[in-house]
Chains A and B, each alone.
Chain A
Amino acid sequence: MKKGWKVVGIIVFVALLLGIVFTAVGFMTGADTDRIYSVLDARYYITEYIEYGRQVFTIIFQEFAPAVVVTT
Protein backbone atom coordinates (compact mmCIF):
# COMPACT_ATOMS: atom_id res chain seq x y z
CA MET A 1 0.00 0.00 0.00
CA LYS A 2 2.89 2.37 0.76
CA LYS A 3 4.43 1.67 -2.61
CA GLY A 4 1.05 2.34 -4.22
CA TRP A 5 0.84 5.71 -2.52
CA LYS A 6 4.32 6.54 -3.75
CA VAL A 7 3.61 5.59 -7.37
CA VAL A 8 0.22 7.32 -7.46
CA GLY A 9 1.67 10.41 -5.79
CA ILE A 10 4.42 10.68 -8.37
CA ILE A 11 2.02 10.25 -11.30
CA VAL A 12 -0.47 12.76 -9.91
CA PHE A 13 2.26 15.27 -9.16
CA VAL A 14 3.76 15.02 -12.64
CA ALA A 15 0.34 15.22 -14.37
CA LEU A 16 -0.75 18.21 -12.30
CA LEU A 17 2.54 19.95 -12.98
CA LEU A 18 2.21 19.36 -16.72
CA GLY A 19 -1.41 20.52 -16.64
CA ILE A 20 -0.50 23.74 -14.88
CA VAL A 21 2.37 24.35 -17.26
CA PHE A 22 0.20 23.66 -20.34
CA THR A 23 -2.56 25.95 -19.08
CA ALA A 24 -0.15 28.72 -18.20
CA VAL A 25 1.58 28.49 -21.56
CA GLY A 26 -1.81 28.45 -23.34
CA PHE A 27 -2.98 31.59 -21.60
CA MET A 28 0.37 33.27 -22.22
CA THR A 29 0.15 32.50 -25.93
CA GLY A 30 -3.31 34.01 -26.41
CA ALA A 31 -5.96 31.60 -25.16
CA ASP A 32 -9.36 33.11 -24.45
CA THR A 33 -11.77 31.69 -21.88
CA ASP A 34 -14.87 33.00 -23.67
CA ARG A 35 -13.79 31.32 -26.86
CA ILE A 36 -13.06 28.06 -25.07
CA TYR A 37 -16.37 28.21 -23.24
CA SER A 38 -18.32 28.81 -26.45
CA VAL A 39 -16.65 25.85 -28.13
CA LEU A 40 -17.33 23.59 -25.18
CA ASP A 41 -20.90 24.86 -24.92
CA ALA A 42 -21.48 24.15 -28.58
CA ARG A 43 -20.12 20.63 -28.09
CA TYR A 44 -21.45 19.62 -24.68
CA TYR A 45 -24.42 22.01 -24.09
CA ILE A 46 -22.95 23.27 -20.85
CA THR A 47 -25.29 26.25 -20.53
CA GLU A 48 -28.35 24.05 -20.85
CA TYR A 49 -27.08 21.67 -18.17
CA ILE A 50 -26.30 24.57 -15.87
CA GLU A 51 -29.76 26.00 -16.41
CA TYR A 52 -31.33 22.60 -15.79
CA GLY A 53 -29.43 22.21 -12.55
CA ARG A 54 -30.36 25.66 -11.40
CA GLN A 55 -34.06 24.95 -11.98
CA VAL A 56 -33.89 21.67 -10.07
CA PHE A 57 -32.11 23.43 -7.23
CA THR A 58 -34.72 26.16 -7.14
CA ILE A 59 -37.58 23.67 -7.04
CA ILE A 60 -35.97 21.73 -4.22
CA PHE A 61 -35.31 24.82 -2.15
CA GLN A 62 -38.83 26.16 -2.78
CA GLU A 63 -40.17 22.88 -1.46
CA PHE A 64 -38.01 22.55 1.63
CA ALA A 65 -36.65 26.06 2.40
CA PRO A 66 -38.71 28.75 0.61
CA ALA A 67 -37.21 31.64 2.58
CA VAL A 68 -33.78 31.00 1.14
CA VAL A 69 -34.96 30.95 -2.48
CA VAL A 70 -36.92 34.27 -2.33
CA THR A 71 -33.77 36.28 -2.82
CA THR A 72 -32.88 34.41 -6.00
Chain B
Amino acid sequence: MLLFKLLKEVALINEQKFLAELGKLLTFMYEEDRQTAIELYAQMFASTADEHALMLFLASPTRQAVQVARAYNAKERKLQVHAQSKNEDGLEYDPDEVPDFVLAINKIALSAAQIAAPVAGDEAAEREVPEGQFSLFDEASAEAEPAAAEQAVAEPVEQAPVEVPAPVEVTEAAAAEEQPAPAVEAPSEEVVAEAAEGTEAAPVEEAREEAAEAENAPAKEAEDKPAEADIPAAAPEDDFAVVIPELQDEAAPVEETEASATPAVEDMPAAPAAVEMQRKPRIALLILFIILAVPITLIGVVLLLIPTLLCLSLALGFIVAGVAALVSAFAGFAVFADILVMLGLALAGLALGLLFLWLFVWFIGGAIVGLIKSVIALGASWCYKEVPAV
Protein backbone atom coordinates (compact mmCIF):
# COMPACT_ATOMS: atom_id res chain seq x y z
CA MET B 1 0.00 0.00 0.00
CA LEU B 2 2.79 2.34 0.96
CA LEU B 3 4.61 1.42 -2.20
CA PHE B 4 1.46 2.12 -4.21
CA LYS B 5 1.08 5.58 -2.65
CA LEU B 6 4.73 6.25 -3.28
CA LEU B 7 4.35 5.21 -6.89
CA LYS B 8 1.31 7.44 -7.24
CA GLU B 9 3.16 10.47 -5.89
CA VAL B 10 6.17 9.77 -8.04
CA ALA B 11 3.92 9.44 -11.06
CA LEU B 12 2.32 12.81 -10.28
CA ILE B 13 5.71 14.45 -9.96
CA ASN B 14 6.85 12.76 -13.14
CA GLU B 15 3.79 14.05 -14.97
CA GLN B 16 4.48 17.61 -13.86
CA LYS B 17 8.13 17.28 -14.77
CA PHE B 18 7.17 15.79 -18.12
CA LEU B 19 4.79 18.64 -18.96
CA ALA B 20 7.24 21.28 -17.78
CA GLU B 21 10.04 19.80 -19.84
CA LEU B 22 7.76 19.43 -22.85
CA GLY B 23 6.71 23.05 -22.48
CA LYS B 24 10.34 24.11 -22.62
CA LEU B 25 10.99 21.97 -25.68
CA LEU B 26 7.98 23.34 -27.58
CA THR B 27 9.05 26.97 -27.43
CA PHE B 28 9.54 26.96 -31.19
CA MET B 29 5.74 26.92 -31.54
CA TYR B 30 3.46 29.91 -31.35
CA GLU B 31 2.39 30.50 -27.76
CA GLU B 32 -1.24 29.49 -28.24
CA ASP B 33 -0.23 26.37 -30.14
CA ARG B 34 2.22 25.48 -27.38
CA GLN B 35 -0.48 25.92 -24.73
CA THR B 36 -2.82 23.77 -26.81
CA ALA B 37 -0.23 21.03 -27.10
CA ILE B 38 0.54 21.10 -23.37
CA GLU B 39 -3.16 20.99 -22.52
CA LEU B 40 -3.66 18.04 -24.84
CA TYR B 41 -0.86 16.17 -23.09
CA ALA B 42 -2.29 17.15 -19.68
CA GLN B 43 -5.66 15.79 -20.78
CA MET B 44 -3.91 12.63 -21.86
CA PHE B 45 -2.52 12.24 -18.35
CA ALA B 46 -5.84 13.12 -16.74
CA SER B 47 -7.79 10.61 -18.75
CA THR B 48 -5.43 7.68 -18.44
CA ALA B 49 -5.99 4.93 -15.92
CA ASP B 50 -2.35 3.99 -15.66
CA GLU B 51 0.02 6.93 -15.66
CA HIS B 52 3.02 4.67 -15.39
CA ALA B 53 2.12 2.85 -18.59
CA LEU B 54 1.38 6.16 -20.30
CA MET B 55 4.74 7.52 -19.18
CA LEU B 56 6.44 4.48 -20.58
CA PHE B 57 4.51 4.84 -23.80
CA LEU B 58 5.35 8.52 -24.22
CA ALA B 59 8.99 7.63 -23.56
CA SER B 60 10.34 11.15 -23.02
CA PRO B 61 9.43 14.82 -23.52
CA THR B 62 12.17 15.03 -26.12
CA ARG B 63 10.66 12.23 -28.12
CA GLN B 64 7.22 13.83 -27.95
CA ALA B 65 8.65 17.23 -28.86
CA VAL B 66 10.27 15.71 -31.94
CA GLN B 67 6.98 14.11 -32.94
CA VAL B 68 5.11 17.40 -32.49
CA ALA B 69 7.85 19.27 -34.33
CA ARG B 70 7.53 16.93 -37.27
CA ALA B 71 3.82 17.66 -37.51
CA TYR B 72 4.22 21.40 -36.96
CA ASN B 73 4.52 23.78 -39.88
CA ALA B 74 5.27 27.23 -38.48
CA LYS B 75 4.68 29.06 -41.76
CA GLU B 76 1.27 27.55 -42.30
CA ARG B 77 0.34 28.14 -38.70
CA LYS B 78 1.30 31.79 -39.01
CA LEU B 79 -1.31 32.15 -41.73
CA GLN B 80 -3.89 30.06 -39.92
CA VAL B 81 -3.55 31.65 -36.50
CA HIS B 82 -5.57 34.76 -37.35
CA ALA B 83 -8.07 33.05 -39.61
CA GLN B 84 -8.64 30.20 -37.24
CA SER B 85 -11.80 30.33 -35.23
CA LYS B 86 -11.28 28.68 -31.91
CA ASN B 87 -13.81 27.87 -29.26
CA GLU B 88 -13.66 29.30 -25.79
CA ASP B 89 -11.51 26.59 -24.32
CA GLY B 90 -8.99 27.06 -27.11
CA LEU B 91 -8.69 23.34 -27.74
CA GLU B 92 -11.22 22.82 -30.49
CA TYR B 93 -10.73 23.93 -34.05
CA ASP B 94 -12.82 24.11 -37.18
CA PRO B 95 -13.02 20.63 -38.71
CA ASP B 96 -11.31 21.91 -41.87
CA GLU B 97 -8.54 23.73 -40.05
CA VAL B 98 -7.36 21.34 -37.38
CA PRO B 99 -3.59 21.82 -37.29
CA ASP B 100 -1.38 18.86 -38.07
CA PHE B 101 0.26 18.91 -34.68
CA VAL B 102 -3.13 18.55 -32.93
CA LEU B 103 -3.88 15.56 -35.14
CA ALA B 104 -0.49 14.08 -34.28
CA ILE B 105 -1.08 14.53 -30.54
CA ASN B 106 -4.56 13.08 -30.84
CA LYS B 107 -3.08 10.09 -32.62
CA ILE B 108 -0.60 9.63 -29.79
CA ALA B 109 -3.42 9.97 -27.25
CA LEU B 110 -5.42 7.35 -29.11
CA SER B 111 -2.50 4.95 -29.12
CA ALA B 112 -1.92 5.64 -25.43
CA ALA B 113 -5.57 4.96 -24.65
CA GLN B 114 -5.42 1.68 -26.52
CA ILE B 115 -2.38 0.67 -24.56
CA ALA B 116 -3.62 1.85 -21.17
CA ALA B 117 -6.89 -0.07 -21.45
CA PRO B 118 -5.46 -3.61 -21.28
CA VAL B 119 -2.98 -2.51 -18.64
CA ALA B 120 -5.81 -1.40 -16.39
CA GLY B 121 -7.41 -4.80 -16.69
CA ASP B 122 -5.94 -8.12 -15.76
CA GLU B 123 -2.38 -7.79 -16.93
CA ALA B 124 -1.51 -11.45 -16.75
CA ALA B 125 -4.54 -12.44 -18.77
CA GLU B 126 -3.70 -9.82 -21.35
CA ARG B 127 -0.10 -10.87 -21.58
CA GLU B 128 -0.61 -14.54 -22.16
CA VAL B 129 -2.10 -14.98 -25.60
CA PRO B 130 -2.98 -18.52 -26.62
CA GLU B 131 -0.98 -19.87 -29.49
CA GLY B 132 -3.94 -20.38 -31.76
CA GLN B 133 -5.36 -16.93 -31.16
CA PHE B 134 -5.06 -14.32 -33.85
CA SER B 135 -2.65 -11.62 -32.78
CA LEU B 136 -2.39 -8.19 -34.29
CA PHE B 137 1.14 -7.84 -33.06
CA ASP B 138 2.34 -10.73 -35.17
CA GLU B 139 1.09 -8.92 -38.23
CA ALA B 140 2.34 -5.64 -36.97
CA SER B 141 5.76 -6.98 -36.29
CA ALA B 142 5.69 -8.81 -39.61
CA GLU B 143 4.82 -5.55 -41.32
CA ALA B 144 7.29 -3.60 -39.33
CA GLU B 145 10.20 -5.90 -40.04
CA PRO B 146 10.27 -5.25 -43.80
CA ALA B 147 10.00 -1.57 -43.04
CA ALA B 148 12.91 -1.93 -40.67
CA ALA B 149 14.81 -3.88 -43.28
CA GLU B 150 14.24 -1.08 -45.76
CA GLN B 151 15.31 1.51 -43.31
CA ALA B 152 18.23 -0.51 -42.06
CA VAL B 153 20.42 0.60 -44.92
CA ALA B 154 19.54 4.25 -44.79
CA GLU B 155 18.69 4.65 -41.12
CA PRO B 156 20.52 2.25 -38.91
CA VAL B 157 19.76 4.43 -35.91
CA GLU B 158 16.02 3.96 -36.10
CA GLN B 159 16.23 0.24 -36.39
CA ALA B 160 16.14 -0.40 -32.68
CA PRO B 161 12.54 0.58 -31.86
CA VAL B 162 11.27 -1.58 -34.68
CA GLU B 163 13.09 -4.65 -33.53
CA VAL B 164 11.87 -4.42 -29.97
CA PRO B 165 8.37 -5.88 -30.43
CA ALA B 166 9.42 -9.10 -32.10
CA PRO B 167 11.25 -10.62 -29.11
CA VAL B 168 8.50 -9.38 -26.83
CA GLU B 169 6.09 -11.58 -28.68
CA VAL B 170 8.32 -14.61 -28.47
CA THR B 171 9.26 -14.73 -24.83
CA GLU B 172 9.58 -12.35 -21.97
CA ALA B 173 13.12 -13.42 -21.40
CA ALA B 174 14.01 -12.43 -24.92
CA ALA B 175 12.28 -9.13 -24.30
CA ALA B 176 14.47 -8.56 -21.32
CA GLU B 177 17.52 -9.17 -23.50
CA GLU B 178 16.35 -6.84 -26.24
CA GLN B 179 15.46 -3.88 -24.02
CA PRO B 180 18.18 -1.27 -24.41
CA ALA B 181 17.89 -0.10 -20.80
CA PRO B 182 17.10 -3.23 -18.89
CA ALA B 183 18.22 -1.83 -15.55
CA VAL B 184 14.79 -0.49 -14.64
CA GLU B 185 12.82 -3.52 -15.72
CA ALA B 186 15.13 -6.40 -14.93
CA PRO B 187 14.43 -6.89 -11.21
CA SER B 188 10.68 -7.04 -11.45
CA GLU B 189 8.71 -9.16 -13.90
CA GLU B 190 5.73 -6.85 -13.58
CA VAL B 191 7.71 -3.85 -14.61
CA VAL B 192 9.09 -5.81 -17.54
CA ALA B 193 5.62 -6.78 -18.57
CA GLU B 194 4.38 -3.21 -18.35
CA ALA B 195 7.33 -1.96 -20.25
CA ALA B 196 6.70 -4.54 -22.92
CA GLU B 197 3.04 -3.58 -23.05
CA GLY B 198 3.95 0.05 -23.25
CA THR B 199 6.52 -0.35 -25.94
CA GLU B 200 5.18 -3.08 -28.11
CA ALA B 201 2.54 -1.02 -29.93
CA ALA B 202 4.40 2.22 -30.02
CA PRO B 203 7.45 1.13 -31.98
CA VAL B 204 5.29 -0.70 -34.46
CA GLU B 205 3.19 2.38 -35.11
CA GLU B 206 6.27 4.50 -35.23
CA ALA B 207 7.81 2.08 -37.66
CA ARG B 208 4.77 2.44 -39.91
CA GLU B 209 4.79 6.21 -39.60
CA GLU B 210 8.47 6.44 -40.19
CA ALA B 211 8.30 4.12 -43.17
CA ALA B 212 5.55 6.31 -44.64
CA GLU B 213 7.51 9.42 -43.88
CA ALA B 214 10.64 7.93 -45.36
CA GLU B 215 8.74 7.38 -48.61
CA ASN B 216 6.96 10.71 -48.65
CA ALA B 217 9.52 13.11 -47.32
CA PRO B 218 13.05 11.75 -47.37
CA ALA B 219 14.50 15.23 -47.12
CA LYS B 220 12.53 16.01 -43.99
CA GLU B 221 13.53 12.68 -42.54
CA ALA B 222 17.15 13.51 -43.18
CA GLU B 223 16.69 16.74 -41.28
CA ASP B 224 15.04 15.08 -38.35
CA LYS B 225 17.41 12.18 -38.15
CA PRO B 226 20.02 13.82 -35.92
CA ALA B 227 17.41 14.64 -33.31
CA GLU B 228 15.91 11.17 -33.57
CA ALA B 229 19.31 9.56 -33.40
CA ASP B 230 20.05 11.27 -30.15
CA ILE B 231 16.99 9.75 -28.55
CA PRO B 232 17.71 6.35 -27.12
CA ALA B 233 15.99 3.69 -29.11
CA ALA B 234 13.53 2.10 -26.72
CA ALA B 235 10.90 3.51 -24.43
CA PRO B 236 12.43 2.72 -21.04
CA GLU B 237 15.20 5.27 -21.56
CA ASP B 238 12.89 7.90 -20.14
CA ASP B 239 14.27 10.06 -17.44
CA PHE B 240 10.76 10.41 -16.07
CA ALA B 241 10.13 6.72 -15.69
CA VAL B 242 9.02 5.66 -12.27
CA VAL B 243 12.04 4.96 -10.13
CA ILE B 244 11.50 2.52 -7.32
CA PRO B 245 13.84 3.29 -4.43
CA GLU B 246 15.13 -0.27 -4.31
CA LEU B 247 16.08 -0.08 -7.92
CA GLN B 248 17.84 3.23 -7.78
CA ASP B 249 21.25 1.61 -7.74
CA GLU B 250 20.51 -0.27 -10.90
CA ALA B 251 18.81 2.69 -12.51
CA ALA B 252 22.06 4.53 -12.87
CA PRO B 253 22.34 3.83 -16.60
CA VAL B 254 19.10 5.73 -17.08
CA GLU B 255 20.88 8.87 -15.94
CA GLU B 256 23.44 8.25 -18.64
CA THR B 257 20.75 8.00 -21.28
CA GLU B 258 19.29 11.26 -20.07
CA ALA B 259 22.64 12.89 -20.57
CA SER B 260 22.79 11.51 -24.08
CA ALA B 261 19.21 12.53 -24.82
CA THR B 262 19.54 16.13 -23.70
CA PRO B 263 21.55 17.35 -26.71
CA ALA B 264 18.68 16.29 -28.93
CA VAL B 265 16.85 19.43 -27.88
CA GLU B 266 19.48 21.54 -29.55
CA ASP B 267 19.31 19.41 -32.68
CA MET B 268 15.57 19.75 -33.00
CA PRO B 269 14.61 20.61 -36.58
CA ALA B 270 12.03 23.21 -35.63
CA ALA B 271 14.58 25.58 -34.14
CA PRO B 272 17.14 26.08 -36.88
CA ALA B 273 19.81 28.71 -36.50
CA ALA B 274 18.74 31.88 -38.29
CA VAL B 275 20.90 32.65 -41.28
CA GLU B 276 21.24 36.33 -42.01
CA MET B 277 20.54 37.12 -45.62
CA GLN B 278 21.88 40.07 -47.51
CA ARG B 279 20.48 41.67 -50.67
CA LYS B 280 23.05 42.06 -53.37
CA PRO B 281 22.32 43.99 -56.60
CA ARG B 282 22.98 42.57 -60.04
CA ILE B 283 24.51 45.71 -61.43
CA ALA B 284 24.19 45.04 -65.15
CA LEU B 285 20.60 43.92 -64.87
CA LEU B 286 19.78 46.87 -62.62
CA ILE B 287 21.17 49.39 -65.12
CA LEU B 288 19.29 47.71 -67.95
CA PHE B 289 16.10 47.72 -65.92
CA ILE B 290 16.45 51.42 -65.08
CA ILE B 291 17.07 52.30 -68.73
CA LEU B 292 13.93 50.44 -69.79
CA ALA B 293 11.69 51.04 -66.81
CA VAL B 294 12.06 54.82 -66.47
CA PRO B 295 10.69 55.76 -69.92
CA ILE B 296 8.00 53.08 -69.78
CA THR B 297 6.91 54.28 -66.36
CA LEU B 298 6.89 57.89 -67.53
CA ILE B 299 4.69 56.99 -70.50
CA GLY B 300 2.35 55.12 -68.17
CA VAL B 301 2.19 58.07 -65.78
CA VAL B 302 1.43 60.51 -68.61
CA LEU B 303 -1.29 58.21 -69.93
CA LEU B 304 -2.79 57.98 -66.48
CA LEU B 305 -2.60 61.76 -66.06
CA ILE B 306 -5.08 62.28 -68.91
CA PRO B 307 -8.06 60.63 -67.17
CA THR B 308 -6.85 62.09 -63.91
CA LEU B 309 -7.02 65.67 -65.14
CA LEU B 310 -10.28 64.95 -66.94
CA CYS B 311 -11.76 63.73 -63.67
CA LEU B 312 -10.49 66.83 -61.91
CA SER B 313 -12.02 69.18 -64.45
CA LEU B 314 -15.33 67.33 -64.41
CA ALA B 315 -15.34 67.35 -60.63
CA LEU B 316 -14.72 71.10 -60.52
CA GLY B 317 -17.40 71.71 -63.16
CA PHE B 318 -20.04 69.65 -61.36
CA ILE B 319 -19.24 71.15 -58.01
CA VAL B 320 -19.40 74.71 -59.35
CA ALA B 321 -22.67 73.97 -61.10
CA GLY B 322 -24.09 72.31 -58.01
CA VAL B 323 -23.17 75.23 -55.77
CA ALA B 324 -24.58 77.71 -58.26
CA ALA B 325 -27.84 75.77 -58.45
CA LEU B 326 -28.01 75.56 -54.68
CA VAL B 327 -27.46 79.29 -54.28
CA SER B 328 -29.96 80.20 -56.96
CA ALA B 329 -32.57 77.86 -55.50
CA PHE B 330 -32.76 79.99 -52.38
CA ALA B 331 -32.21 83.34 -54.08
CA GLY B 332 -34.09 83.68 -57.37
CA PHE B 333 -37.10 81.39 -57.36
CA ALA B 334 -40.53 82.21 -56.03
CA VAL B 335 -42.32 78.96 -56.83
CA PHE B 336 -41.70 76.08 -54.42
CA ALA B 337 -41.79 73.46 -57.20
CA ASP B 338 -38.97 75.27 -59.00
CA ILE B 339 -36.98 75.41 -55.79
CA LEU B 340 -37.40 71.66 -55.35
CA VAL B 341 -36.20 71.02 -58.88
CA MET B 342 -33.19 73.27 -58.35
CA LEU B 343 -32.38 71.54 -55.05
CA GLY B 344 -32.56 68.17 -56.79
CA LEU B 345 -30.26 69.32 -59.58
CA ALA B 346 -27.86 70.82 -57.05
CA LEU B 347 -27.70 67.60 -55.08
CA ALA B 348 -27.13 65.55 -58.22
CA GLY B 349 -24.43 67.92 -59.42
CA LEU B 350 -22.65 67.89 -56.07
CA ALA B 351 -22.85 64.08 -55.93
CA LEU B 352 -21.29 63.72 -59.37
CA GLY B 353 -18.68 66.32 -58.44
CA LEU B 354 -17.76 64.29 -55.36
CA LEU B 355 -17.57 61.10 -57.43
CA PHE B 356 -15.20 62.63 -59.98
CA LEU B 357 -13.16 64.25 -57.24
CA TRP B 358 -12.69 60.85 -55.61
CA LEU B 359 -11.79 59.35 -58.97
CA PHE B 360 -9.13 62.05 -59.32
CA VAL B 361 -7.75 61.18 -55.86
CA TRP B 362 -7.81 57.47 -56.74
CA PHE B 363 -5.92 58.06 -59.98
CA ILE B 364 -3.28 60.11 -58.20
CA GLY B 365 -2.90 58.08 -55.01
CA GLY B 366 -3.84 54.62 -56.27
CA ALA B 367 -3.16 54.15 -59.94
CA ILE B 368 -0.13 56.36 -60.55
CA VAL B 369 1.56 55.69 -57.21
CA GLY B 370 0.69 51.99 -57.55
CA LEU B 371 2.27 51.88 -61.00
CA ILE B 372 5.48 53.45 -59.71
CA LYS B 373 5.57 51.17 -56.67
CA SER B 374 4.98 48.04 -58.70
CA VAL B 375 7.75 48.98 -61.14
CA ILE B 376 10.12 49.50 -58.20
CA ALA B 377 9.05 46.18 -56.67
CA LEU B 378 9.57 44.45 -59.99
CA GLY B 379 13.05 45.90 -60.21
CA ALA B 380 13.78 44.80 -56.66
CA SER B 381 12.73 41.25 -57.40
CA TRP B 382 14.55 41.03 -60.73
CA CYS B 383 17.74 42.95 -60.03
CA TYR B 384 18.54 41.90 -56.46
CA LYS B 385 19.46 38.51 -55.13
CA GLU B 386 19.64 37.31 -51.54
CA VAL B 387 22.92 35.84 -50.43
CA PRO B 388 24.00 34.71 -46.97
CA ALA B 389 25.73 37.50 -45.09
CA VAL B 390 29.45 36.93 -44.64
Binding site for B on A (CB under 8 A): 1, 4-5, 8, 11-12, 15-16, 18-27, 29-32, 35-36, 39-40, 42-44
- Per-residue A-contact encoding for B343-360, CB less than 8 Å = 1, 0 else: 111111111101100100
Would A15 and B339 count as touching, CB distance under 8 A? no
Chain A contacts for B361, CB-based, 8 A: 4
Chain B contacts for A31, CB-based, 8 A: 335, 337-338, 340-341
Would A25 and B358 count as touching, CB distance under 8 A? no
Chain B contacts for A36, CB-based, 8 A: 333, 338, 341-342
In the assembled complex, B324 has its CB within 8 A of some CB on chain A:
yes
Residue of B nearest to A42 (CB): B332
Would B366 and A15 count as touching, CB distance under 8 A? no
Chain B contacts for A35, CB-based, 8 A: 335, 338
Binding site for A on B (CB under 8 A): 324, 328, 331-333, 335-352, 354-355, 358, 361-362, 365-366
Would B345 and A4 count as touching, CB distance under 8 A? no
Chain A contacts for B365, CB-based, 8 A: 1
Chain A contacts for B342, CB-based, 8 A: 26, 36
Knowing A11-B351, A16-B351, the reply to whether A4 touches B358 (Cβ < 8 A) is: yes
Chain B contacts for A27, CB-based, 8 A: 337, 341
Would A19 and B346 count as touching, CB distance under 8 A? yes
Query: What are 26 sample pairs from A and B whose C-beta atoms fall under 8 A apart?
Result: A1-B362, A1-B365, A4-B358, A4-B362, A5-B358, A8-B354, A8-B355, A15-B350, A18-B347, A19-B343, A19-B348, A19-B351, A21-B344, A22-B344, A25-B340, A26-B339, A26-B344, A27-B341, A30-B337, A32-B337, A32-B338, A36-B333, A36-B338, A39-B332, A39-B333, A40-B332
Knowing A12-B354, A12-B355, A43-B328, the reply to whether A26 touches B347 (Cβ < 8 A) is: no
Please report the C-alpha to C-alpha distance between residue A65 and residue B362 in the assembled complex, in whole angstroms. 38
Would A22 and B362 count as touching, CB distance under 8 A? no
Please report the C-alpha to C-alpha distance between residue A42 and residue B63 in the assembled complex, in whole angstroms. 93
Chain A contacts for B331, CB-based, 8 A: 43
Residue of A nearest to B358 (CB): A8
B324, B333, B347, B355 interface centre (most CB from chain A within 10 Å): B347
Please report the C-alpha to C-alpha distance between residue A40 and residue B338 in the assembled complex, in whole angstroms. 11
Would A39 and B354 count as touching, CB distance under 8 A? no
- B339 CB → nearest A CB, Å: 7
Please report the C-alpha to C-alpha distance between residue A21 and residue B68 in the assembled complex, in whole angstroms. 66
Chain B contacts for A16, CB-based, 8 A: 347-348, 351-352
Residue of B nearest to A15 (CB): B351
Residue of B nearest to A25 (CB): B340
- B224 CB → nearest A CB, Å: 44
Chain B contacts for A39, CB-based, 8 A: 328, 332-333, 338
Would A19 and B332 count as touching, CB distance under 8 A? no
Please report the C-alpha to C-alpha distance between residue A15 and residue B349 in the assembled complex, in whole angstroms. 9
Would B336 and A19 count as touching, CB distance under 8 A? no
Pick the contact of A15: B328, B332, B341, B354 (CB < 8 A).
Answer: B354
**Known pairs A5-B362, A26-B340, A40-B332. 7 more at Cβ < 8 A?**
A1-B366, A4-B358, A11-B354, A25-B340, A30-B337, A31-B340, A44-B328
Across the A-B interface, the 3 shortest Cβ-Cβ residue pairs? A22-B344, A26-B340, A23-B344
- B350 CB → nearest A CB, Å: 6
Knowing A1-B366, A30-B335, the reply to whether A19 touches B344 (Cβ < 8 A) is: yes
